[in-house]
Structure 1
Amino acid sequence: MSPIDVEILLQAEAVRAWHVDAVDALPVDEVRVTLVTDGSTWGRDVDSLLRRERRLGDLSARGSDLLPPGSSPGRHAAEDAVVTQEVRSGTRIDLSGGPVRPGCWTLTFDDRPGEDAAVQALLANRFPVVRVVDEHGRVIVEGRPGSEVPGLLAAALDDVLAGCVQLLVAAVAGHPLRLPAEPGGHDAPGTGGVPTPKARARRAWAAAVARRVYRRLYRSPHWRVGWRFTEGPGVLATGGLAGERWRDLPDDGRHFYADPFPIEVDGRTYLFVEDYDHRLGRGVISVLEFDGQGPVGTPRPVLEHDVHLSYPVVLEDDGQLWMIPETSAAGTVELYRATEFPDRWELHSVLLSDLDANDTTPFRHEGRWWLSATVRHGGSCSDALHLWYADRLAGPWVAHAGNPVLVDIASARPAGRPERHGGRLLRPVQDGRRGYGAALAVAEVVTLDPATFVQRVVARIPPDPSWPGSRLHTLNRAGRLEVVDGSARSSRLRHRSRR
């Protein structure tokens, strides 16, 4: 091995902030950065568009920010090293977007090198499949990093580039990340229909105006919970929403309910939800009971925190009732025990800390407890799946050797409790390719142990006439009660007129 563990090749005129992040994150002792002159860049029009979108969206520059000319990031940067073809020993990663170089790994977007290919995909409203390939085109790692705001290039591009850093780290660490198999294959590279940066800039201005008008008229976002009683197989087993009629859990418009988790206890059914008050800008956990006809009363708060609470996973273990709500704003995963079910809960322990974990979901598999969650690494909070395992629900918890075990905006983030059907372990997941909470998918866990994770997507579930709207976000069931959540509208004008 060369004294230099890794060498990174960058386009001399397009060194960006995410390159610094990649160099700093690589799990090696030494990194050399070499500047080349035959790479590619996305051009001034795109940089102008990014600046305009940041101003309109009040966004700070991140990974896509261009560093001053002559910048060469790295712990051990090459001084005045400008090469075109020379290849050194050791691992070399070409991020310049230039032609394939012998002995180099290359980062590709929809099988094309160069960040300009990522820009083209995002302008076409598609998240590219990102791969690190060797000089013969063999895939070393692959993923589909994404963003919660695909329609905003400045935010989406920064999030995708942050995901690229994770893929590069996995490649160097020897973690062979792969996208799951799915019906119809992965998104194919698009052809045509890509707006120019100038046309996109005009659209960005119009979209910013539309967003401001919408937020004056409506509270946003606003979610709603759907419920139904079903005797037969549910959505997770059938892969579709059709069946018994869905009904809405009503709200007063000034706050909404989301992330529904039902549980049966002593023959009675309870539904726990995120209860978000628009006036406070923060959520608490509330509960209501269901009888044989439907909901009894309205949700009442049962758990509050210094930070926003959501995604209240409730479960029974060892004769006690437990809850793991999302506390990502506190950087923790917390376990609560019911002292007087369903209304009183106490903090039992902090399972994980110092991480931004989203929609943490516990489940049992082959004699172990597992936790699944997506963890933010400077980009999206929905594309990097992490796993932990333990012998007991209270821990201690051990991180999976391959974390993140999956980078995929279309199938990483949990969307409810995993269940077993016909011997298969199925997990509901969020498909965020069209934005946060836009659709669901069903993934079958094929292999899961402390060293390996493999899943395959068996169904995609967008909203449809049986559950209309622009979002479909969470799926759970307890006994006959099946619940989902999705988008709704809450008019500010309606409530003003009432007052």
Structure 2
Amino acid sequence: MMSREELFGEDGGNGTAGRAAEPGESVGAAPANGSPPRGRLVVRLDPNRIWRWHLWLLAEIDATGRYHVAVDLSPAGPPLPAGLRLLLDLERLVFRLRGEQAAEPLAAAAIRHAVPLARASDPSDLVLDLSGSASQVGGAVLRPLFDGAASENVLLERVMEPALLTLTIDGSARAEVARPEIAGRPVLTERLNNAFCTLLGLCLRALRDGPAPEAGGTAPSLRALGNSELTAFAARAAQAKVTRWLTKITRDAPRWRVGSRRARSEDLLARTLKFPADGYHLLPDDGRRFYADPFLLHAEGTTYVFVEEFPFDTQKGIISVGTLDEAGRISRLRPVLEEAHHLSYPHIVEHDGTAWMIPESCNSGQICLYRAVRLPDIWEKVAVLVDGLDASDATLHRQDGTWWMFAAIRERQGSRNDTLRLFTAPELRGPWTPAPREPALVDATSARPAGNLFRMDGKLWRPAQDCSRSYGGALSLCTVDRLSAEAYGQTRVTTIEPRTPLPGLGLHTLNFGQGCEVIDVVM
């Protein structure tokens, strides 16, 4: 078998991918061109628990060119409960889920037709054990853990409760912890899709970086999953569907509201971590739209407040602007930017004497830069900073001459609410390139941006959305401990939830400056 250095290189797995073996060439032999040979990978799967995401994973592993893959289907465990399969089928009809789903149960024949089966006599360089089996596996083994347990039933329990779930890869040289969004999605299929797609990414990165020297071990046994749990989840999902339907047809449904106030530095929410006793001035609406995502810009003695305006009739966001008076109230808004697609989160940057805007436009698959031709109402699109990416809430920060972009991204059938990606550029207009170690963070409690980064008491802080219970359910304040091309690190210091004197169901934006503070809250 190949050594770790031969398979993963001295850089721990970041070397050039290998190529397929030529006819007559032995598997694992060094290719003539000097590139690393393919390793021999065995993926262990329970034939009674095959999901669509397993096929996607095998295809993506093959596409890396790093491994020759074979599948071991010998560790057969208890089948999925019949009630679970029925519930997933019903959701396809009720929620109109079209196309392939990561959380789609398949017959074992789908795997047999796609990938060669492993033979007991064949040696392997690495085993990726997705079976949850308690049997001992020799050699280097990577194994996903769900809240520290190898049983997939732990994942199923968490998505039905719902509860925060922690995913890791045991045996990996890459110490990565992921906390996917679960509770914010009322449909079981969507919850499982996100959890499985997060797990798929974890597996690929663990395979890229290779196993830790001590990789191996025994997995705990499976716990049975009862049909009563499935019935309870189905009832909650049905209630959630009714609630969403009522939300669309009634003007009294919860909606986002923008709050503003004048505030001294020592009274800012980011410093006191509690809402002011006299509250905020709430921006009124006419019941036919909501306002959210407030950003501030102070220019020529005027404080502008840019927001997302979302008319219920069009179901498409536009960017509007108002001004802040001496009392901290926002004037009547007027539209300033509209595109054929949805716009929101009007992040404002001042640079070289010019105001720039990077609004969210995830439906277009682009992150675009706009320049203020005339403040505050004429904006010109001048560049596409990132193309071909489903990204939300892009937020820029400049440090030591380098521009950094923080963006929530959605990959495969995952969620934008739990995955943070970083990009860097030498200039505002680019070129923008992804930071090497991606994603920077997978954590529903503190990944998605929630406003401008700021410095306070000698530290760099980043507001983030806490989507662990619902989208924009609360606001996390995090210190950025490390920001470099090699690594990103942050510490979630506290989470602020809407409460008296500003009760609500969620809080997901915070910005301040020039003696002003703006937030938004679901009420």
C-alpha distance in structure 2 between counterparts of 1:249 and 1:16, whole Å:
47
- The residue type paired with residue 337 of structure 1 is R
Pairing 1:120-199 to 2, within 5 Å after superposition? 120-134=157-171, 140-147=175-182, 149-174=184-209, 196-199=229-232
Residue 65 of structure 1 corresponds to 104
Which of residues 24, 27, 33 in structure 1 aligns to 2:71?
33
Cα 1:221–1:287, aligned 2, differ >3 Å: closer, same or farther? Answer: same
**Alignment-mate amino acid for residue 91 of structure 2:** E
Match of 2:124 in 1: 89
Q: Judging changes above 3 Å, is the alpha-carbon distance between structure 1 residues 303 and 210 closer, same or farther for their aligned structure 2 residues? A: closer
Residues 145-183 of structure 1: CA distance to partner in whole angstroms, max 9, x if unpaired?
Answer: 22473333221111111111111122122299xxxxxxx
* Structure 2 residue aligned with 1:323: 357
User: Shift of residue 299 of structure 1?
Assistant: 1.0
Q: Matches of 2:361 and 2:182 in 1, distance apart?
A: 20
Tell me what 1:368 maps to.
Answer: 402
8 A Cα contact 1:260 1:483, kept in partner:
yes
TM-score (norm 2): 0.84
In 2, the alpha carbon distance for the partners of 1:162 and 1:420 equals 35
User: How do residues 183-262 of structure 1 correspond to structure 2 at under 5 angstroms?
Assistant: 196-218=229-251, 222-233=255-266, 234-262=268-296
Identity of aligned residues (%): 34
1:226-263 CA-to-partner distances (Å, cap 9, x unmatched) read: 11211133222333334542221111110111100011
1:250/1:322 CA distance change after superposition, 3 Å: same
1:21-67 deviation digits (Å, cap 9, x = unpaired) = 22223334333222133345542222222223333322235111011
Equivalences for 1:324-339 in 2 at 5 Å?
A: 324-339=358-373
- Equivalent residues of 2:164, 2:183 under 8 A apart: no
Please state whether the residue corresponding to 2:73 is helix, strand or coil. Answer: strand
Would the aligned equivalents of 2:47 and 2:107 in 1 still touch at CA under 8 Å?
no
Gaps spanning 5+ residues in structure 2: where? Answer: 3-27, 29-37, 212-224
Say which SS state the counterpart of residue 317 (structure 2) adopts: strand
Q: CA deviation at 1:141?
A: 2.6
Whether 1:466 and 2:501 are equivalent positions in the alignment is yes
Equivalent position to 2:85, from 32, 47, 50: 47
Are the structure 2 counterparts of residues 374 and 6 from structure 1 closer, same or farther at C-alpha, using a change threshold of 3 Å? farther
CA displacement, residues 75-95 of structure 1 (integer Å, 9 cap, x when unaligned) = 7x223x487xx8843221111
Partner of 1:393: 428
Alignment match, 1:188: none
Aligned to 1:15: 50
Residue by residue, what CA displacement relative to the aligned partner does 1:295-344 show, whole Å, maximum 9, x if unpaired? 35311011111110000011210111100001111111101000101110
Amino acid at match of 1:16: W
Normalised TM-score (structure 1): 0.87
Which one-letter code corresponds to 2:45 in the other structure? L
How far did 1:225 drift?
0.7
Secondary structure, in 3 states, of the residue corresponding to 2:137? coil
C-alpha distance 171-164 of structure 1, shift in aligned 2 (>3 A): same
SS at match of 1:298: coil
Q: Which has the higher strand share?
A: 1
Asked if 1:297 corresponds to 2:337, the answer is no
- The 3 A distance-change label for structure 1 pair 456 and 175 is farther
Q: Does structure 2 retain, via aligned residues, the 8 Å contact 1:369–1:390?
A: yes
Moved more, 325-334 or 14-23: 14-23
Distance 1:326 1:253 in 2: 24
CA contact (8 A) 2:42 2:124 kept: no
- 2:50 aligned counterpart, secondary structure: coil
Matched position secondary structure for 1:36: coil
Larger radius of gyration: 2
CA shift, 1:376, in A, is 0.4
* Partners of 2:460 and 2:483 in 1: CA distance: 10
Q: Choose the corresponding residue for 2:147, options 98, 104, 110.
A: 110
Work out whether residues 5 and 28 of structure 1, in 8 Å CA contact, stay in contact via their aligned partners in 2.
no
Q: Which runs of 5+ in 1 are unaligned?
A: 177-191, 489-499
Change (3 A) 1:37 1:353: same
Residue 137 (structure 2) aligns with: 101
Q: Could you tell me which residue of structure 2 aligns to residue 494 of structure 1?
A: none
Residues 419-478 of structure 1: per-residue CA shift (max 9 Å, x gap): 001111000001101111111101111011111111111111111113211111111112
Matches within 5 A, 1:391-470: 391-470=426-505
